[in-house]
């Protein structure tokens, strides 16, 4: 099979994966999507197994993480990670979100860029390499629940089930840089209490929305504090700052039930992005301390709950594995990429916390509208990712370990 062969196989597989709605929260379509990956593995003489994160969650909702293995009999294993869960499509699509549309070098559909094209690219590479003699083993980890934190997705596979490997390439990333790290994440929920009442008698009520506005105004100082933090790692191309910086965003506000009812509670959700090297425990203490001071200053009655947390990570650029991937990208694309860190987070943190060196490269180019309407992937990026993995599969094991 020619490494520069067409993308017929990858497009066909991507089409089958995109047709399945695999939204993270309801976990719909997970089993059907996992079955397709297993079937494709077996058809390519690869082994496949399912690690169900439900055994850790114990909530009756299956989380079939798929591990596909190309076993060369080596004592060195390169892990390749992607995920097949997606965010809801929303409305306003020109192209049907759950039917692949290929047009002008792009493939449209929910999950094309983020990150089912990654799975298709890896499977295409493993299929190509399956009849060659290699010096390393290759394993695809096709995870679930990445969009909602990944605790019973790849984290379960690595930390609880105990998957081992010597290095990891996360294909849930863009092709503009070789990413050596990703930001940490804290998601928080603030519930502000007031006193419910009739809008005709506001003097008898205490409007929880107004209380929340006071608290959020105080949190502008927290935003400024966070944004002063700067990493030692470069931000991706096109970012407004050279180095990765701290970020805080209010992302959801919920209150009220009717126009003439003054709400007694207001819920605020926020997202805090940490520097890749910033200890999450330190960030949590800082956040909790600021919150306590803010409620004391404003007099608001409120509670803070951290609903999701993920440590950032970074990989030293002088590692042999980093140099190997960098050189393989140059060989594959003809370009030398700068090093940077992801502004977002990804499942690479679960490999890093288990002592595995991690780098990221993939199909999620900045303009592909991932998480948005009419998401797409450039076919050339899918081909480059596939061919990069083919080239990496042929390196000697000392270039990986």
With tokens 């929305």, the residue in question is 209
**Cis upstream peptide for 109 (omega within 30°):** no
- Please report the sign of the dihedral spanned by the C-alpha atoms of residue 122, residue 127, residue 128, residue 131: positive
Question: CA-to-CA distance for 314 and 366, rounded, in angstroms?
Answer: 21
pLDDT above 90 covers a percentage of the chain that reads: 97
pLDDT digits (tens, 9 = 90+) for 22-78: 999 999 999 999 999 999 999 999 999 999 999 999 999 999 999 999 999 999 999
pLDDT score for 58: 97
pLDDT score for 148: 92
User: Mean pLDDT across the stretch 363-370?
Assistant: 96
pLDDT digits (tens, 9 = 90+) for 174-196: 999 999 999 999 999 999 999 99
pLDDT score for 5: 55
pLDDT digits (tens, 9 = 90+) for 224-239: 999 999 999 999 999 9
Please say whether the beta carbons of 235 and 340 come within 8 A: yes
**Structural domains in the chain, sorted by start:** 8-182+312-399 (3.40.630.10), 184-310 (3.30.70.360)
pTM, two decimals, is 0.90
What DSSP line would sit under 22-89, residue for residue? Answer: -BTTTTTTHHHHHHHHHHHHHHTT-EEEEEETHHHH-SS---EEEEEEE--S-S-EEEEEEE--B---
The answer for residues whose C-beta is within 8 angstroms of residue 242's C-beta and 6 or more apart is: 234, 235
CA 375 to mean position of chain CA atoms: 16
257 CB burial (10 A radius; 0-12, 13-18, 19+) = exposed
Please say whether the beta carbons of 101 and 107 come within 8 A: yes
Q: Which two tokens stand for residue 85?
A: 């869960």
């Amino acid at each position: 099979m020619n490494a520069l062969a067409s993308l017929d196989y990858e497009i066909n597989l991507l089409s089958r994966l995109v047709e399945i709605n695999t939204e993270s929260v309801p976990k719909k379509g997970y089993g059907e999507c996992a079955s397709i990956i297993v079937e494709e593995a077996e058809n390519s003489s690869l082994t496949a197994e399912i690690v169900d994160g439900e055994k850790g969650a114990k909530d009756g909702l299956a989380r079939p993480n798929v591990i596909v293995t190309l076993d060369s009999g080596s004592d060195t294993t390169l892990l390749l990670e992607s995920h097949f869960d997606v965010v809801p499509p929303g409305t306003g699509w020109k192209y049907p979100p759950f039917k692949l549309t290929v047009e002008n070098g792009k493939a449209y559909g929910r999950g094309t860029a983020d990150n089912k094209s990654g799975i298709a690219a890896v499977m295409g590479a493993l299929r190509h390499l399956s009849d060659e003699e290699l010096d390393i083993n290759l394993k695809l980890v096709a995870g679930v629940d990445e969009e909602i934190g990944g605790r019973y997705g790849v984290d379960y596979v690595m930390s609880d089930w105990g998957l081992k490997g010597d290095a990891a390439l996360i294909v849930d990333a863009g092709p503009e840089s070789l990413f050596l790290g990703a930001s940490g994440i804290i998601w928080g929920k603030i519930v502000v209490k007031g006193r419910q009442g009739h809008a005709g008698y506001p003097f008898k009520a205490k409007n929880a929305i107004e209380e929340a506005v006071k608290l959020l105004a105080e949190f502008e100082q927290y935003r400024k504090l966070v944004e002063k933090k700067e990493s030692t790692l470069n931000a991706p191309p096109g970012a407004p700052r050279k180095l990765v910086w701290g970020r805080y965003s209010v992302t959801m506000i919920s209150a009220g039930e009717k126009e003439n009812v003054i709400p007694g509670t207001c819920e605020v959700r926020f997202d805090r992005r940490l520097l890749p090297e910033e200890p999450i425990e330190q960030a949590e203490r800082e956040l909790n301390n600021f919150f306590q001071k803010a409620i004391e200053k404003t007099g608001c009655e409120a509670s803070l709950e951290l609903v999701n947390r993920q440590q950032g990570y970074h990989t030293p650029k002088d590692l042999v594995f980093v140099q190997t991937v960098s050189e393989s990208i140059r060989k594959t694309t003809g370009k030398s990429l700068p090093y940077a860190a992801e502004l977002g987070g990804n499942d690479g943190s679960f490999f890093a916390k288990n002592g595995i060196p991690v780098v990221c490269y993939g199909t999620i180019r900045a303009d592909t509208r991932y998480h948005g309407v009419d998401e797409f992937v450039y076919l050339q990026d899918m081909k480059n990712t596939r061919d990069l993995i083919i080239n990496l599969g042929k390196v000697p094991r000392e270039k990986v370990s």
